[in-house]
Every structure is written in structure tokens, then in C-alpha cells.
Homo-oligomer: A and B are copies of this chain.
Amino acid sequence: MDWPRGMAGRLCYGGDYNPEQWPESVWHEDMALMREAGVTLATVGVFSWALLEPAEGEYDFGWLDRVLDLLHDSGIAAALATPTASPPPWFTLAHPAGLPVDAAGTRLTHGSRDTYCPSSPEYRAAALRIATALGSRYAGHPAVAMWHVHNEYGTTCHCDVTAAAFRDWLRRRHGFLDALNAAWTTSFWSQHYTDWAQIMPPRATQYLHNPALALDFKRFTSDELLACFVSQRDALRAIDPSVPITTNFVLGGWVPVSHWDWAPEVDFVSIDHYPGSSAPLAAEEETAFAADLARGWAGGRPWLLMETAPNLIYEPGRMAVKEPGRMARLALSYVARGSRGSLYFQWRAPAGGAELYHSAMVPHAGADSRVFRESAALGAVHRELGPALFDGAVVASAAILWDDEAWWASQAPAFPSSSLDYLAAVRSVHGALWRAGVTCDVARPGADLSGYRLVLVPSLYLVSDEAAAALRSYAEAGGTVVVWYFSGIADPAPRVRLGGHPGAWRDLLGVRVEEWLPLAPDASVSLSSGGTGRLWSERVRLAGASAVDSYADGVLAGLPAVTRNAVGAGAAYYVSTSLEDPGRFLASVCAAAGVAPVVADLPAGVEAVRRVNPDALVIINHTAADQPVPSAGVVPAGGHLVVPAGPP
């Protein structure tokens, strides 16, 4: 598929454009500035429902006609959004049942955004109507390069309509009520159901919810939201199948839907990504992880960064400013790792609204500003690099397994340690590889792993029998596997796999874990290798494996901490604690598995990604000094190089 339509060979550059917030005189300044900045794609209409359909069934497309024409006349393509993430105020009054209800039974109202019930027939009908109206009017418009359906799907509802839909979904998933009772362990706490009608969403209750119900409700919500997307997608596709359709996946601490399931439903994967720390190299590590994950969802194909902040990093409690040049370096990292460009929220900073201080390419101060000048310079970079980086595959010989459902399942309360953090565990491993210059894919459990020399499994709490078997087969066929603590514990119900942890992979790993010993937040345990473990430790018994590292103090002193098991033609490591610095261990594993850095002897703070078809080596210098990179040259301080280079 040609996506965005008409952009072949040209990287996308631009962002969310909200001309409806400004008088038309500003639109013309926008066009001039966009051209100056090298903008190639503008996202329009994301939250424009109230203006496009000011009364139920009455449309006002005039302003959008003019905007699209203007963009087209300016040589800028449009990502045209359906505005269904925010129903207009009139919808609330006409269709109160279309509003979401929280766990305590409070029906929310408009005044913010995302106030809809995903299961509401009234909401779905209204959303389909406006999407269809937009499709009918604009599918043939030459500016429209793609459809951007909705925005960051992620609203949860607990209303009675949702409850009924949840029961239908459960019937489809479990088939029989007894199967559900078994999967949910409803024999606990007198929760045995004798009628589907007895099942409720996880509404306000006296104490802890059943974790299996909670997980199924998240799966259900993901599927309900996906049905909302598919409804719009199908209508738009029916009108004009030539326009590619996506919706922007949202990343971060908040992942409301299962993107592995969604990815096949979009014409191409796009993500919104906002790093959460401005500390040196922290946003860089986050960016590389998000990009690798997006590429994983895209099945290794190109994807698109649909939103990030041009100049700010939204830390808790503070909007930190990116130092000069950092905007460009982070953009290049996304692109090097497979994004067909860099799109920003937002083009022009609004004078009001709840996000008036979010970052913009044209800030409140206007175009005479460092931010706009950097934005314009970055547009030029995108133009130059388009042919080299528009397409092409990223080269990686290692993969990390990632699963949204495992994350959700591990967020249950009353777990052995409230410090267990799936995202942090995965990021710790990915970050160590990033610092070592090793490129890493992200794969779904159960995926074909045969292309990799090394597969890493950090704290994957829940895994299916099939996915567990796939990992075993991979190792038997010669692959190297590393599994971290709190992996393979539960089946998809989730129910704990009995007989010793990790139930899914005892045989693969040649160990049997008798018990877990979570550490206090400020505690640590020494390892005989000189390393340090945090958060977690385990009483590991060898059952075929040999110890690679051992606990050196505490109640586990002398017992195995890290083990290695020979498996068929491959090997499987087990890491029973959270290594404070996993770098040295991973370096030895990579060496043993034949996984090399992209470039040997890469200086610290320099990032390198290798691409094929077309071949390219992208090197980004995140440091403030010139850095020599073997066989590529000197990368200027804060700058980058893109050099032709085939696979290693």
C-alpha cells in the first residue's frame, strides 16, 4: 500500500493542525510558515466534531473545504481525522446513555474529551455517521493522504449497556459458564456464577476484585474499542479503498488496548509517544524503545510517529524543555528505527483550552523563536533524508518479547511486591542493549523467532501454552533465550502454573523456583559476580541448569541467582533478580549468542541503526562533543551522519 498516499520517498514532517482555533488570516500565515518549515503532512479535524456537525445530522464542511484546499495549494498533504474521540455538547443532551460511567456509577459528562461509552449503540451510530459524512465528502480530495480515525482509543465504561456487552463477549470467549467459573477461580470468595446475568463489570465493591475478571474486562474493552475503529474503517474503505487508514496508538504508562490485536486492522501502524524524563539520554532510551515497539507492532515494516512534542518533555509536575538540537536528534531516532517521518502535537500553540501549554512548532512567542527555527531546520533534514530513510528494514538479531495482556495481568493488587513494574523491567533490558549499541526488535509471544540469535523475556508474567512452547522450540533449534524473574507464572486465564516457578518454562530453564523473596524498596542483594540485585530474589533450585551467578549474602547466600541451561542446540538463561546494571551480563550473553553491536566501539551517548533496502547506517551523536565512529567518520557534537552501509 502506498502510504501516506502520494508521499512515496518523502518523509512525513508536520503535525496536528487546528485552523478552526484561528481566524482565516492566520491560516495564510500558517501555509507560509509550513512551507518555510518543510512541512509535508498536516493532521486536521481530530477534535472538530462540534464544528463539523453543529447539530445532529447537520453538517458544516465549508471551513474544512477551505482548509484542505489551502493545504493542497500549498503542497501539503492532509491526514484527515474522524473527530469521534470527543462528541459535541449536543450529543450529551440528546444521548445521555452515550456517555461513560465510572466504576462508582457516576455518569461523566462533556467538558473535557473522550466522553463516550464504547459499547453505546447511540455513540457508535453517531460516530459512524460523522465518519461516513466526512468520507463521502473528502475521500476524493487530492489533499487527503490518509485517514486518521479517532484519537488514542482508550475510554472505559461500566454502564449497564457495557455490562450486557461484556457478558456477550464473555460468552464468546468462554463458551460455557462453567469454563468461565474455572478460568476465574470463582470458587474463591463465593463468586461462582449460575447465570451470565450475574456478571458485572469491575464496579465499586467492598475489597479486591477478581483479577481474572479485571483482565477479561480489559480485553473486552480493547475489543469494544477495536469494533468502534473497524466500524469507521470499513465505512471509509467502502467509500474509497485507495486512502490508507490508521488510528494513533498511544504508548507510555497507559496502554488501554492490545496493540498486537489492533495492528493487523490498520493499514499502517502509527503511534503517539511522549517520553517522560528529560534526564540525559533518558528520553533517548525511551524513544528507541517506543520506536522498536512500534516497529514490532508493524511486523518490521515502516510505521509512522503521529505525535510527539516538539520542544517539551512532559515530566511529572514539569514541562521540561528540550535542549537545542534535542528535538532533531530524537526525531532522527524515530526515523532511523522505522518511522516514515516525524509528526508533532502540535503545529501552532493555542491561546486557550486545556492543553494551551503543550508544545508547538509555532509557539506562543511566534515564528521568531528558537523552537520554530529548529523546527524549520529539522524539516530540511527530513527532506534531505527522505530517499534514504523512507523505506527499508531495520537490522536486528535480538528480540524482546512484549505483551500488553501480561502487563495488565501483572498490575493486579495484592501481588507479592508493589514494586513489580513490567514496563520498567522491559525498559531496563532494552536500555542496557541500547547503551551497548545493540539493536533489538520487539516481538509478540508466540511469534516466529527463527530470525533472531537472542530472545529476551523480561518479567512476562502471563504466557499461553503455545507461546511458551514456541520459545522452547526456538531454543532447541539453536536460539539463545534469557528469561527474567516473574515470567511464565500464569496462563491466560490467568491461573498460576503450579509445581514450581516459572511454570511455563521450568524445563526450558532447568530450574525450579520454590519461593519468591521480594526485597524492600531500598534493599539490595549482592551477587558473587560482584553485581547487585534489587526488588526481587528467589529460592532457585537447579534442575538441569548450572549456576552462572549466585546470591552472596542474605538468606539465599550461596544459592543460584542466574543460571544457564543447555537446550538442544541452544541455551536458556534465567535471571532471578532485577540486576541493578544488567549491562555486563547482557554483554556476555550477546557475545555467546553472536549478537554484535551495530558498530563496534561505538562511543557512549552515540546511537547507531543499520538499515537495508535501501542500505544505510544512521548515527546520532547525543553528546556535546564530536565523536569518531569506526568506518563512518566523525559525528559532530549533537549532530548525525547517514552513510551508505549494507548489513554487517
What residues of chain A have their CB less than 8 Å away from a CB belonging to chain B? 18, 20-21, 47-51, 54-55, 83, 86-90, 92-93, 100, 102, 104-115, 155, 183-195, 197-200, 202-213, 311, 315, 317-321, 323-324, 349-358, 363-366, 368-371, 412-419, 493-496, 498-501, 503, 512-521, 539, 555
A499 vs B367: C-alpha distance when bound (angstroms): 9
Tell me what chain A mostly uses at the interface: helix, strand, loop, or mixed: loop
Residue contact A495 to B352, C-beta cutoff 8 Å: yes
Cβ contact of A515, chosen from B110, B210, B371, B513, cutoff 8 A: B371
Whether B494 pairs with A115 at a CB distance below 8 angstroms is no
- A197: chain B residues within 8 A (beta carbon): 93
Task: Indicate which residue in B86, B317, B364 contacts A496 across the interface (CB closer than 8 Å).
Answer: B364
* A352 engages B212 (CB within 8 Å): yes
Q: Which chain B positions have C-beta within 8 A of A498?
A: 351, 364-366
State the Cβ distance, A167 to closest chain B Cβ, in Å.
12
Cα of A184 to Cα of B354 in the assembled complex, Å:
10
**Interface centre among A106, A513, A515, A520, by most B CB within 10 Å?**
A515
Which residue of chain B has its CB nearest to the CB of A417? B318
Contact status A102-B50, CB under 8 Å: no
Q: Which residue of B lies closest to A182 (CB)?
A: B352
Contact of A185 among B21, B209, B211 (CB under 8 A): B21
Closest chain-B Cβ to A252's Cβ sits at a distance in Å of 15
Q: Given A115-B205, A364-B498, output 9 extra A-B contacts at Cβ < 8 Å.
A: A88-B194, A90-B195, A102-B204, A104-B104, A111-B191, A111-B213, A211-B353, A318-B416, A370-B539
Report which of B49, B350, B364, B371 forms a contact with A190, defined as CB distance below 8 A. Answer: B49
- Check B321–A112 contact: CB distance below 8 A: no
The reply to whether A192 and B51 form a contact with Cβ atoms under 8 Å apart is yes
In whole angstroms, how far apart are the Cα atoms of A513 and B363 in the complex?
A: 11
Most buried by B among A48, A102, A112: A112
Q: Determine the chain B residues whose CB is within 8 A of the CB of A357 once the complex forms.
A: 414-416
Contact B417 A47, beta carbon cutoff 8 Å = no
List chain B residues, Cβ under 8 A from A414.
354-355, 357-358
Quick check: B47 and A190 within 8 Å, CB to CB?
A: yes
Q: Is the CB of A493 within 8 A of B111?
A: no
B-chain residues with CB within 8 Å of residue A192 when the two chains form the complex: 50-51, 54, 88-89
B93, B187, B204, B516: the one within 8 Å of A20 (CB) = B187
Q: When the two chains form their complex, are residues A364 and B501 in contact, meaning their CB atoms are under 8 A apart?
A: yes
Q: How far is the CA of A317 from the CA of B414 in the complex (A)?
A: 8
> Taking A109-B203, A365-B500 as contacts, is the C-beta distance between A355 and B188 under 8 angstroms?
yes
CB closest chain-B residue, reference A208: B354
- Among candidates B51, B102, B324, residue contacting A187 with C-beta atoms closer than 8 Å: B51
A106 and B190 contacting across the interface, CB-CB below 8 Å: no
Min C-beta distance of A67 to chain B, whole Å? 13
Contact A515 B370 (CB under 8 A): yes
Q: How far is the CA of A630 from the CA of B207 in the complex (A)?
A: 50
Closest 9 pairs (CB-CB, A-B): A185-B352, A188-B353, A89-B198, A86-B190, A50-B192, A208-B354, A317-B418, A112-B205, A351-B495
Complex formed: what's the CA distance from A203 to B108 in Å?
8
Give the chain B neighbours of A212 by CB distance below 8 A: 352
- Whether A189 lies near B86 (C-beta < 8 A) is yes
Inter-subunit contact B190/A92 (CB<8 Å): no
A353 to B496, CA, bound (A): 10
- Rounded to whole Å, the gap between the CB of A509 and the closest CB of chain B is 14
Given B113, B417, B515, which contacts A206 in the complex, CB threshold below 8 Å? Answer: B113
Would you give the shortest CB distance from A215 to chain B, in whole angstroms? 11
Is the Cβ of A193 less than 8 Å from the Cβ of B518?
no
Question: Shortest Cβ distance from A507 into chain B, in angstroms?
Answer: 15
Which residue in chain B gives the minimum CB-CB distance to A499?
Answer: B366
Complex: A368 Cα to B50 Cα, angstroms: 65
Contacts of A18 in B (CB 8 A): 187-188
Are B354 and A501 neighbours in the complex by a CB distance under 8 Å?
Answer: no
A351 touches which of B185, B209, B368, B500 (Cβ 8 Å) = B185
How many Å from the CB of A249 to the closest CB on chain B? 18
Q: Are B416 and A111 neighbours in the complex by a CB distance under 8 Å?
A: no
Among A108, A358, A501, which residue has the most Cβ atoms of chain B within 10 A? Answer: A108
Closest to A89 in B: B198
Contact indicator B50/A501 (Cβ below 8 Å): no
- Indicate if the CB atoms of A354 and B189 lie closer than 8 Å: yes
Alpha-carbon distance A354/B186, docked complex (angstroms): 10
Q: CB-nearest residue of chain B relative to A21?
A: B187
Give the chain B neighbours of A106 by CB distance below 8 A.
Answer: 104-105, 204
A90–B369 alpha-carbon span in the complex (Å): 63
A87 to B89, CA, bound (A): 35
Q: In the complex, A415 Cα to B353 Cα: how many Å?
A: 11
A207 with B112, Cβ < 8 A, contacts A55-B194, A190-B47 known: yes
Q: Which of A190, A209, A501, A512 has the most CB of B within 10 A?
A: A190
Q: Which residues of B contact A555 (CB under 8 A)?
A: 321, 323-324
Q: Assuming the A-B contacts A211-B352, A414-B355, are A189 and B113 also in contact, with contact meaning beta carbons closer than 8 angstroms in the complex?
A: yes
In the assembled complex, the Cα of A412 lies from the Cα of B356 at a distance in Å of 11
- Report the minimum CB–CB distance from A326 to chain B (whole Å): 10
Give me 23 A-to-B residue pairs in the complex whose CB atoms sit less than 8 angstroms apart, sorted by A's number.
A18-B188, A21-B185, A47-B188, A51-B192, A92-B200, A105-B107, A106-B204, A108-B204, A110-B200, A111-B210, A113-B207, A184-B352, A185-B353, A207-B354, A211-B354, A319-B417, A319-B516, A352-B496, A354-B414, A365-B498, A366-B498, A366-B500, A369-B514
